[in-house]
C-alpha cells in the first residue's frame, strides 16, 4: 500500500519569507521528496493567483491590543538580560527610542517602560512570554487559525520566520492541536537582537554559529530541537541557468560594454542615514581613476525598502557614470515587510554580481552574495562630515554581535578614511587586494558549509521531525 504523503503547511506570517520559500526551488524540491505542500498565507500576496500554488489564506490579521506592547517590553527586557549576563553594552544599541507624540503613544511608551522595569530578568522574560501567549490565545485569530487547522489537518507547520508577532496565535493553535511546529531563523543578525518571537518544537538555523547563539540566548531551547540546514537565500547564486552573457546583460540594462562597473549596494536609512555621501565618494574616486586611464562606471542597486529621495542629487550629478539598476521588488502594502521581491530579481542580482568588478557598501550582507561569485567587497567605515547630533554614526553597525563572526579583519576590505578610497578601489581592480578567501570563510561560518543545498536539507529535516513525532 502506497504511503500517504505528509501534508506540510509552509506558513508565511509576513512577506519576508517569500524570497526563500516561494521564489526558489524550495517547493519543487519538497514535492520531489513526496510532500503535500500547502502555503498557509497571512500576507496580502496571493500565492495561488501569482504562482499557482495551493494556499490557505489567513484573512484575520488581528493581534490582541496589548501584544505589541508586551512584545516590545519582552525584547527590551531580553536585551537588558543579555547586557547584564554577558557584561556587554552592545545589546542596548539594538533598542529603538520610544515615541511620546500624542497621548496614545505616550501611554504606550510609559506602560512598556514600566513592564521593562518589572520584568528585566530571565524569570521576568519567561513571564512576559507566557503573558503574550495568554493574550494571543484570547485573540479571535487564535480560534480562526485553529478552525483552519482542524479542517485541513496538516502533519507539520513550517513557520518561515521566527520574528513576526502575526505568527504567535497561529502557532499556539497548532501546538494546542498537537501539530508539530518548526521555525526558520530568518536572518544572520536576528538571534543576538532578541528577535525570537515564537516558541516552536523545532528550529532550522543557517549554521553551527546560529545554533550556538540560539542556545546561548534562549535557555528554553534544547540542542536536540535545533537543526543546521543553511538558508535558501543564497541558492540562486549556484544556478548557472540564471547567467547572461556580458553583451546581453549590458544591452538589457543600457550599460556601456566598454566600461568596468563597480556595484554600490545601498542601505536603508536606519542603518546608514548618510549613505548617499558614500555613493558620492565612490563617484569622485571613479572620476579620478578615469582621468588616469581607467574606464569605470557604477551600478547603483538601492536597498529595496528605501523609498527616500536622498540619492537623487548624487545620481543626477553623476549620471554619466552611475547606472541605476533597481531591485525587482513589488510594493503591496505600507509596511516594510509588504515590499516583496519578484522572482526575476534572482536573475538580476546574479548578473550584477557576475558582471561587476566588486561591491561596496555599509555593512550589508551583499558581501556574501558577491563572495559566492569570488568577488570582493569594500565596507565603508569612516564618518561623513555631515554627521551631527541626532544622526546615527555607521561605525556603530560594525560593533554589533553578528560582525564578531568575521574570521579576521580581512573578511572584507575596509576603507577607514575617505582619502584612501581611490587607492582601495584601484588595489582591488589591479588584483593587489581581495577579501575573497577570508570572505568565503566568513560566508561559510554564517551560512553553513553547503549554501547551495539548503532547501534539500530543510525537507530532509522535516522527515526527521515527522518520524520523531510518530514514535
Shared-domain flag, residues 157 and 29: yes
Nearest by Cα to 380 from 408, 418, 324: 418
Shared-domain flag, residues 413 and 364: yes
Shared-domain flag, residues 131 and 143: no
Residue 108 included in any domain = yes
Nearest by Cα to 375 from 299, 304, 450: 299
CA distances from 406 to 378, 412, 439, 440, 444 (A): 14, 9, 8, 10, 10
Shared-domain flag, residues 170 and 265: no
Shared-domain flag, residues 33 and 145: yes
How far is it, in rounded angstroms, from Cα 444 to Cα 191? 17
Q: What's the structural domain count of the chain? A: 3
Shared-domain flag, residues 249 and 202: no
Looking from the CA of 210 toward its CB, the CA atoms found within 13 Å total 28
Whether the CB-CB separation of 413 and 376 falls below 8 Å is answered with yes
Shared-domain flag, residues 180 and 31: yes
- Residue 401 sits in a domain of what CATH number? 3.40.50.2000
CB 418: neighbour CB atoms within 10 A?
Answer: 17
Shared-domain flag, residues 97 and 246: no
Shared-domain flag, residues 178 and 318: no
C-alpha cell, 71:
512584545
1 pLDDT above the threshold of 70: no
Reported as a single tens digit per residue, the pLDDT across 257-304 is 999 999 999 999 989 999 999 999 999 999 999 999 999 999 999 998
CA-atom Rg of the chain in angstroms: 23
pLDDT at 166: 95
- Last residue of some domain: 135, 158, 187? 135
pLDDT at 368: 97
CA distances from 196 to 17, 44, 58, 136, 264 (A): 15, 23, 22, 16, 32
Shared-domain flag, residues 181 and 317: no
Residue 1 included in any domain = no
How far is it, in rounded angstroms, from Cα 191 to Cα 198? 12
CB 178: neighbour CB atoms within 10 A?
Answer: 7
pTM exceeds cut of 0.85: yes
Ramachandran angles phi, psi of 76, nearest 5°: -65, -40
Residue 2 included in any domain = no
DSSP state of 397: G
C-alpha cell, 88:
556587554
pLDDT at 15: 85
Reported as a single tens digit per residue, the pLDDT across 73-121 is 999 999 999 999 999 999 999 998 898 999 999 999 999 999 999 999 9
Shared-domain flag, residues 104 and 212: no
Q: Tell me the residue range of the domain where 89 lies.
A: 67-135
Nearest by Cα to 350 from 178, 235, 186, 220: 235
Shared-domain flag, residues 339 and 223: no
Amino acid at each position: 500500500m502506497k504511503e500517504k504523503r505528509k501534508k506540510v503547511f509552509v506558513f508565511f506570517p509576513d512577506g519576508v519569507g517569500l524570497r526563500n520559500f516561494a521564489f526558489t526551488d524550495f517547493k519543487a524540491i519538497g514535492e520531489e521528496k513526496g510532500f503535500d505542500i500547502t502555503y498557509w498565507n497571512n500576507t496580502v500576496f496571493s500565492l495561488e493567483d501569482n504562482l499557482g500554488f495551493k494556499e490557505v489564506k489567513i484573512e484575520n490579521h488581528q493581534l490582541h491590543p496589548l501584544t505589541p506592547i508586551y512584545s516590545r517590553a519582552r525584547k527590551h527586557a531580553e536585551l537588558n538580560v543579555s547586557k547584564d549576563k554577558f557584561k556587554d553594552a552592545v545589546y542596548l544599541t539594538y533598542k529603538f527610542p520610544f515615541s511620546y507624540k500624542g497621548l496614545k503613544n505616550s501611554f504606550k511608551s510609559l506602560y512598556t517602560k514600566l513592564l521593562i522595569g518589572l520584568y528585566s530578568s530571565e524569570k521576568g522574560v519567561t513571564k512576559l512570554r507566557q503573558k503574550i501567549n495568554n493574550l494571543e490565545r484570547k485573540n479571535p485569530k487564535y480560534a480562526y487559525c485553529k478552525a483552519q487547522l482542524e479542517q485541513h489537518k496538516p502533519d507539520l507547520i513550517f513557520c518561515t520566520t521566527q520574528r513576526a508577532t502575526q505568527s504567535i496565535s497561529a502557532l499556539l493553535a497548532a501546538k494546542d492541536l498537537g501539530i508539530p511546529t518548526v521555525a526558520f531563523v530568518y536572518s544572520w543578525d536576528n538571534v543576538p537582537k532578541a528577535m525570537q518571537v515564537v516558541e516552536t518544537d523545532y528550529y532550522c538555523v543557517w549554521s553551527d554559529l546560529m545554533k550556538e547563539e540560539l542556545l546561548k540566548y534562549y535557555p528554553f531551547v534544547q540542542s536536540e530541537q535545533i537543526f543546521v540546514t543553511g538558508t535558501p537565500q543564497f541558492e540562486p547564486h549556484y544556478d548557472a541557468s540564471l547567467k547572461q552573457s556580458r553583451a546581453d546583460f549590458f544591452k538589457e540594462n543600457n550599460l556601456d560594454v566598454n566600461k568596468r562597473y563597480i556595484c554600490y549596494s545601498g542601505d536603508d536609512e536606519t542603518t546608514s542615514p548618510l549613505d548617499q555621501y558614500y555613493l558620492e565618494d565612490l563617484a569622485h574616486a571613479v572620476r579620478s581613476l578615469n582621468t588616469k586611464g581607467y574606464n569605470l562606471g557604477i551600478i547603483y542597486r538601492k536597498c529595496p525598502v528605501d523609498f527616500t529621495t536622498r540619492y537623487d542629487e548624487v545620481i543626477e550629478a553623476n549620471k554619466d557614470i552611475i547606472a541605476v539598476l533597481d531591485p525587482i521588488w513589488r510594493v503591496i502594502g505600507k509596511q516594510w515587510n509588504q515590499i516583496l521581491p519578484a522572482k526575476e530579481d534572482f536573475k538580476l542580482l546574479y548578473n550584477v554580481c557576475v558582471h561587476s568588478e566588486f561591491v561596496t557598501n555599509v555593512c550589508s550582507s551583499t558581501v556574501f552574495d558577491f563572495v559566492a561569485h569570488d568577488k570582493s567587497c569594500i565596507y565603508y567605515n569612516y564618518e561623513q562630515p555631515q554627521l551631527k547630533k541626532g544622526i546615527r554614526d555607521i561605525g556603530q553597525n560594525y560593533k554589533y554581535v553578528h560582525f564578531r563572526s568575521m574570521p579576521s579583519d580581512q573578511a572584507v576590505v575596509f576603507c577607514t578614511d575617505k582619502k584612501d578610497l581611490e587607492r582601495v578601489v584601484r588595489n582591488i581592480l589591479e588584483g593587489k587586494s581581495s577579501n575573497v578567501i577570508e570572505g568565503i570563510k566568513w560566508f561559510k561560518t554564517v551560512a553553513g558549509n553547503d549554501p547551495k543545498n539548503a532547501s534539500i536539507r530543510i525537507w530532509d529535516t522535516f522527515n526527521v521531525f515527522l518520524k520523531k513525532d510518530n514514535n
